[in-house]
Amino acid sequence: MNRLPLMILVGLLLVGGGVVAGVWYYFTPKYTRVGYQPLQPVAFSHKVHVDQLGLDCRYCHHDVERAWFSNIPASSTCMNCHNQVLKDDPRLALVRESVATGRPIPWVQVHKVPDYVYFNHAVHVNRGVSCVECHGRVDQMDEVYHAKPLSMAFCLDCHRDPASFLRPLDKVTDLAWRWSVDPAEHARQQRTQGRWLMEHWRVESLQNCSACHR
């Protein structure tokens, strides 16, 4: 019996399957973006400043609830403390130089949606969507990395069902916050309270294209 056709078939299936699996696995923002961790000009650590010192995100990213854009703090913000703390530390040389000359620190942007997408921080933050949903546990990162894919599917997962993500407004910047330490209880509370918050704030489930592409 001639086994050649069978072997060709198996070979084609393997190659085809391999290519499909490779594209499925690699050609997605879950692979291309997640984990992107650029080298920053100053070794600034969110873990030290947020987790250890307990600073609120809005101390530095103060525009996040007022504008579409979440600002990176000016170097003078760092000097609020670092004019006394680690005053002559070489790790902060660039910050001091930037304050003296007015030249901004060239931080490398990590999260960046394409220019054809309209995004808005204030809308989300003032509707009880926490930073952690889109940026991961920044408070545990020594260097910021891209933790979530921020693809269209990712945005829509939440826009189809915001109730499973909403939380009280004063907990938005508390990234470790849960309704309850017990996961089952957390899920139950999230379902009931999330639905209540959604009705209370009249949150819409925005899925039309013009919400994000305008």
Partner 1 sequence: MRYFLLIYALVVGIVVAIAGCRGSLSRKPPIEVFPDMDRQLKLRPQQPNGFFPNGISSQPPVPGTIRRSLPIQTLSGPVYPFEDAPVNTGRWPGVTNFVELNPLAVSGALLRRGQERFGIYCAPCHGPAGDGNGVTRKLGMAVVANLHDPRIVEMPDGEIFHVISHGRNLMQGYAAQIPVEDRWAIVAYVRVLQRSWLGSLEDLPLHLRQSLERQP
Q: Which residues bind partner 1 (CB under 8 A)?
A: 7, 10-11, 14-15, 18, 22, 25-26, 29-39, 52-56, 58-59, 62, 66, 69, 71-72, 74, 76-77, 79-81, 83-86, 104, 106, 109, 114-116, 145-146, 170
The contact mask relative to ligand HEC for 39-78 (x = CB under 6 A, - = no) is -x-xxxxx-xxx--x-x-x-xxx--x-----x-xx---xx
Distance in angstroms (rounded) separating the CA atoms of residues 54 and 187: 27
Rounded to whole angstroms, the Cα distance separating 3 from 22 reads: 28
Min dist. Cβ of residue 137 to ligand HEC (A) = 9
d(CA 194, CA 4): 60
The partner in contact with residue 91, picked from partner 1, ligand HEC, none with C-beta cut-offs of 5 to 8 angstroms by kind, is ligand HEC
Give the DSSP per-residue string, 160-193.
T-GGGT---GGGTT-TT--S-SSHHHHHHHHHHH
Near ligand HEC in 13-42, by CB under 6 A:
29, 40, 42
Per DSSP, the residues of 108-164 read PP-----TTS---HHHHHTTT--HHHHH--GGG-SS----S---HHHHHHHHT-GGG
Looking only at residues 172 through 211 of this chain, which bind ligand HEC when binding is defined by CB under 6 A? 172-173, 175, 203-204, 206-207, 209, 211
Instruction: Please tell me whether residue 122 binds ligand HEC under the rule CB under 6 A.
Output: no
Interface residue with ligand HEC among 117, 140, 180, 185 (CB under 6 A) is: 117
Q: What six digits make up the tokens of 165?
A: 């993500």
Least separation in angstroms between CB 87 and partner 1 = 8
Tokens for 185? 């209880």
DSSP-based three-state secondary structure for 198: helix
Residue 163 near ligand HEC by CB under 6 A: no
Stretch that binds ligand HEC, among 11-19, 96-104, 120-128, 187-195 (CB under 6 A): 120-128
